[in-house]
Amino acid sequence: MVKLVAMFTKPEDPAAFDEAYFGTHLGLNAKTPGLRRTEVTRVTGAPRGETPWYLVTEMYYDDAASMRAAFASQEAAEAAKQLMSFAKGLVTMYTAEVVDETGKPA
């Protein structure tokens, strides 16, 4: 499995962010072809010190080819456009591959 991870720093207006994110964005995101699972987490703190993160969402795909195809889809373009309407400057993303306890692809 591979995933796209979107990390959001703290918005100025969390209620407005949540309305746009949970009320609209997740529904658009769910239409992305090949998406197997989405895990949304609210950041609660850090073991030590502070954390800049507010919300982190992981979108799982079967493999890198499926994820690339999803990125190129019209559905992803629409979800990204809506995301940028309220989360620009707050979001950073990375892609990752799940590995086993030896570090090999799981």
Among 12, 88, 89, 102, binds its own copies (CB under 8 A): 102
Q: Is 18 in the site for its own copies (CB under 8 A)?
A: yes
Among 20, 28, 53, 75, binds its own copies (CB under 8 A): 53
CA distance 98 to 101: 10
Exposure string over 4-33, b if 16+ CB within 10 A, otherwise e: bebbbeebeeeeebeebbeeebeebbeebe
Among 20, 28, 42, 84, binds its own copies (CB under 8 A): 42
Contact characters 21-40, its own copies, x per CB under 8 A: xx---x---x--------xx
**Distance of closest approach, residue 83 Cβ to its own copies, in angstroms:** 12
Q: Count the neighbouring beta carbons within 10 Å of the beta carbon of residue 82.
A: 17
Element (H, E) at 8: strand 2-9
Q: Is 2 in the site for its own copies (CB under 8 A)?
A: yes
